């Protein structure tokens, strides 16, 4: 992100960002296992995968 590029030593913001990304990853993993059609829809809308 722009903030982390300009504030390289802001470790608490980096930790918070990584925590949010990990939460998103685990929710997407759950969604891909349980409702694969909705998973593909979400991935497409958010432009997360190619």
In tens digits, what is the pLDDT along the chain, a chain of 50 residues? Answer: 899 999 999 999 999 999 999 999 999 999 999 999 999 999 999 998 86
10 part of a folded domain: no
17 part of a folded domain: no
Q: How far apart are CA 40 and CA 22, in angstroms?
A: 19
Q: How far apart are CA 5 and CA 1, in angstroms?
A: 6
8 part of a folded domain: no
User: For the whole model, what pTM was predicted?
Assistant: 0.76
48 part of a folded domain: yes
Q: For position 42, what pLDDT does the model report? A: 94
- Whether residue 10 contacts residue 3, with contact meaning beta carbons closer than 8 Å, is answered with yes
5 part of a folded domain: no
Range of the domain at 33: 25-50
13 part of a folded domain: no
> How many structural domains compose the chain?
1
């Amino acid at each position: 992100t722009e903030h982390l590029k300009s504030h390289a030593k802001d470790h608490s913001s980096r930790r918070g960002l990584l925590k949010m990304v990990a939460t998103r990853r685990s929710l997407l993993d759950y969604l891909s296992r349980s409702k694969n059609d909705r998973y593909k829809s979400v991935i497409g809308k958010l432009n997360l995968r190619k």
